[in-house]
Chain A
């Protein structure tokens, strides 16, 4: 286990525990992951609240986010400057909201922000088209995309302005059965995190490509032929 005396003060850990859905152990684990993203940028000692931000490009390469089509939008909506540079607070916030303990209402608010590509408080048809194209990697024909967007707006637009306001979105989400279970980032396995934290503590920080995460993923990949 990490030496919590040197990373966070007790008050800081208490504050994190109250403001997020995580326990102390999980917060320390998250700090380990955050440090790993940019070991030369992120200090191990957070007792005096350093103002450090990890850039977008490093965060979207995390294994949890790497395969997500919305990774850029997710990171941008949790960043303060809207450009995707996350401080540790934002990082923890992101994982907290997307964890399995967060309630549906909170997830709905952030999901709306994620899907609102042009950040105008409405999910208009262009936002929907961008969402759909990211989901399917542009393998639908333009007329199919158009049809799907029209149907989606038709299903959920209540006030008739041809785009989704937050009220429309929330109403639709309450009827979407998979929303709660699909909008959830899991941590990778505990032993893996433990190993990484061990190596951080003992001072032998491995380069990203050789860390246990990638080896694990490589070994368990499904072999399939098209």
Chain B
């Protein structure tokens, strides 16, 4: 046989594919690699196969080659050709360019150089990416599911760092640098009323050593009157030579800016995942095709990781088959069973609500107790009372997921829905516990022993309530960090030692630690929400969060590589990125509420902070707007008027309705096109079958005039041969009968 045919029948079985199908344009675009050039091989193929339209196919091929050679350079690397063919295409392209003259030639040349420079600079920049080496190692060992958690963590480190830079650059730096840059700082003056009385919190007399530790961990004492908390920024303005720097305005604007920046950055990052999940069909979320063809992470290089991946894929497939069976079972449920299930679900949901209410109530009581009992008896007891709200919240966050995962098994949902529902409950628990803490603090702050508070807040208990809130957030942050470290050291490492060295039943039951991605993500989203809320009251909190997340990255990496095996039900990488960002957005939305309320509603402290001359923090802005020149002021008044707000709202609603309608229309078009595609395929088969029948009958008529060799060749195509998958001609007769 010809060497060309050996290339075609590379499995050496000599199976011929249908000559008509080979000439179809869709097949031509898939031509396999061949040694010789396209046109010569097609000519030879035409001669071997006989005279079935080889001339037309040859013409078509040469036309396609012209088309290809004229494609732009950047598409050369995206074409499925061998290196030689790509090089030839490039040389043709270069030869074409030589013919260009003057400006066009220079333009093309400049574009090429620019592209080269861009690629090189991107390479340099990519070397500066944070945690690059560590993430590569994790990807190689555990695949892309767990990788998504770590790249999410890296994103948060960057976000917090940028927030810190904003706060530092616009608020802290001017204050710190003013004396050196010959700026004159005007502090807000105390006017002697009782509201402005701020007792000093630094400890006097003989201070025991552990007092410093308590102060460090709870932000009281020597830390209270530092840059760390809101109360220190009692600056009204900084007067430089040519201008005055308005610190209160800067403080407020930076707060609004970091919230907006976080929102925009997260939305931008989630846009890709959102698009993908819109296109994806909900039913096919964990489709079989996705598992078979895209299930294996080609990044895995480690033998153990490969074994674990294989096992998890096996488990997934078995679970999916099980789910199919369950789906059938659900479809066959009787009415009595449905009734029973619904009653059970209602009861269990009420139980869940009761559990949540219990947790929230205990957080409320713990906050009030901690605020009101400030005994300095015992060091450890003192610390525990200070940290009581954080301890209760953390306990709640540990216990409730266990309760939820037990309850959900009785509710008889499908497995995919089970995971999502449990997760939503846990998210709600975590974020609502912060809300409850803040609510209880707020009730403490705004309730006075007398009926109306003269200063607008409880100035006896909280002379500087913003610092107090800042301290609570600071304590939450520190405690969260300590818990992550403590759990890793005191729970995960011993667990590994016990499971590896003791063979008792309990150890087997407990099993090796699984890196549960959803729970870990909730942990860091919780921390980030605290940071967003707390930055207004504790401006250095983003810096602390950045350092905390950097350390958490390494703790988690070490724990992962030493203690954990991957989860048996792995989280899909693509959908998980979107899920993380959605949860983060919920956290951001939650964080905006207390900040907005406290800026706009609650009277700011008269004794500390930059807003002592205003009733609420928001008042800075109307005050500043009233001082700017007339034209700009009129613009701002127009922007804040009701007319503008209503029309903006209406326009936004219209835009949203339009986009939703467009998305619906696209979905319909997609399903129509899918049906059309199926129909076209059937048409194609039908037509080819008819054509072959017609050719067969024509050949039978002309048979005596043809050569023997051709007859032998053609008869091999006509012979039904069921082993050859490519030979569908005889089969398709039977198929179309069943499909049409």
User: Least Cβ distance of A179 to chain B in Å?
Assistant: 4
**A152 at the binding interface (Cβ < 8 Å):** yes
Chain A residues with Cβ below 8 Å from B499 are 225
Q: How far is the CA of A122 from the CA of B84 in the complex (A)?
A: 26
Chain A residues with Cβ below 8 Å from B306 are 67
B139 to A186, Cβ gap below 8 A?
A: yes
A148 to B735, Cβ gap below 8 A?
A: no
**A103 at the binding interface (Cβ < 8 Å):** yes
Using C-beta atoms within 8 Å of the partner chain, give the interface range for chain A: 35 or more
**Known contacts A132-B292, A182-B297; A80/B82 CB under 8 A:** yes
CB interface residues, B 291-340, toward A, < 8 Å: 292-306, 308, 310, 313-314, 317-318, 321, 324
A120 to B725, Cβ gap below 8 A?
A: yes
B301 to A188, Cβ gap below 8 A?
A: yes
- A136 partner, pick from B276, B297, B317, beta carbons under 8 A: B317
User: Least Cβ distance of A131 to chain B in Å?
Assistant: 6
User: Least Cβ distance of B70 to chain A in Å?
Assistant: 16
**Known contacts A140-B314, A221-B303; A189/B137 CB under 8 A:** yes
Q: How far is the CA of A179 from the CA of B632 in the complex (A)?
A: 53
B289 to A119, Cβ gap below 8 A?
A: no
B301 to A113, Cβ gap below 8 A?
A: no
B301 to A63, Cβ gap below 8 A?
A: yes
Binds B, one of A11-19, A30-38, A39-47, A203-211: A11-19
CB interface residues, B 102-141, toward A, < 8 Å: 116, 119-120, 123, 133, 136-137, 139-141
- A128 partner, pick from B292, B308, B512, B573, beta carbons under 8 A: B292
**A121 at the binding interface (Cβ < 8 Å):** yes
B574 to A177, Cβ gap below 8 A?
A: yes
**A10 at the binding interface (Cβ < 8 Å):** no
B76 to A70, Cβ gap below 8 A?
A: no
**B572 at the binding interface (Cβ < 8 Å):** yes
**B443 at the binding interface (Cβ < 8 Å):** no
B735 to A184, Cβ gap below 8 A?
A: no
**A98 at the binding interface (Cβ < 8 Å):** yes
User: Least Cβ distance of B54 to chain A in Å?
Assistant: 19
- B296 partner, pick from A25, A69, A120, A222, beta carbons under 8 A: A69
A147 to B321, Cβ gap below 8 A?
A: yes
Q: How far is the CA of A102 from the CA of B279 in the complex (A)?
A: 21
B573 to A186, Cβ gap below 8 A?
A: no
- State the majority secondary structure of interface residues on B: helix
A90 to B83, Cβ gap below 8 A?
A: yes
A66 to B572, Cβ gap below 8 A?
A: no
**A181 at the binding interface (Cβ < 8 Å):** yes
**B535 at the binding interface (Cβ < 8 Å):** no
B732 to A161, Cβ gap below 8 A?
A: yes
Q: How far is the CA of A87 from the CA of B732 in the complex (A)?
A: 40
**B26 at the binding interface (Cβ < 8 Å):** yes
Chain A residues with Cβ below 8 Å from B277 are 177
User: Interface 1/0s, chain B 268-300, versus A by CB < 8 A?
Assistant: 000000001101110010011110111111111
**B410 at the binding interface (Cβ < 8 Å):** no
A89 to B84, Cβ gap below 8 A?
A: yes
Q: How far is the CA of A185 from the CA of B257 in the complex (A)?
A: 40
B726 to A106, Cβ gap below 8 A?
A: no
- A148 partner, pick from B317, B678, B681, beta carbons under 8 A: B317
A167 to B677, Cβ gap below 8 A?
A: yes
B561 to A220, Cβ gap below 8 A?
A: yes
User: Least Cβ distance of A181 to chain B in Å?
Assistant: 5
Chain B residues with Cβ below 8 Å from A161 are 681, 685, 728, 732, 735
Considering only CB atoms, which chain B residue lies closest to A216 in the complex? B137
Chain B residues with Cβ below 8 Å from A136 are 310, 313-314, 317
Q: How far is the CA of A61 from the CA of B87 in the complex (A)?
A: 29
User: Interface 1/0s, chain A 68-88, versus B by CB < 8 A?
Assistant: 111000000001111100000
A135 to B280, Cβ gap below 8 A?
A: no
B11 to A119, Cβ gap below 8 A?
A: yes
Q: How far is the CA of A112 from the CA of B678 in the complex (A)?
A: 20
**A162 at the binding interface (Cβ < 8 Å):** yes
- B574 partner, pick from A80, A131, A181, beta carbons under 8 A: A181
Chain B residues with Cβ below 8 Å from A93 are 82-83
B284 to A160, Cβ gap below 8 A?
A: no
A167 to B7, Cβ gap below 8 A?
A: no
Chain A to chain B contacts (Cβ below 8 Å), 9 pairs: A19-B77, A67-B300, A67-B305, A80-B33, A92-B83, A158-B674, A169-B293, A177-B277, A183-B298
The 10 closest A-B CB pairs, nearest first, are A159-B681, A82-B10, A89-B83, A177-B574, A67-B306, A19-B86, A120-B726, A179-B294, A176-B290, A178-B294
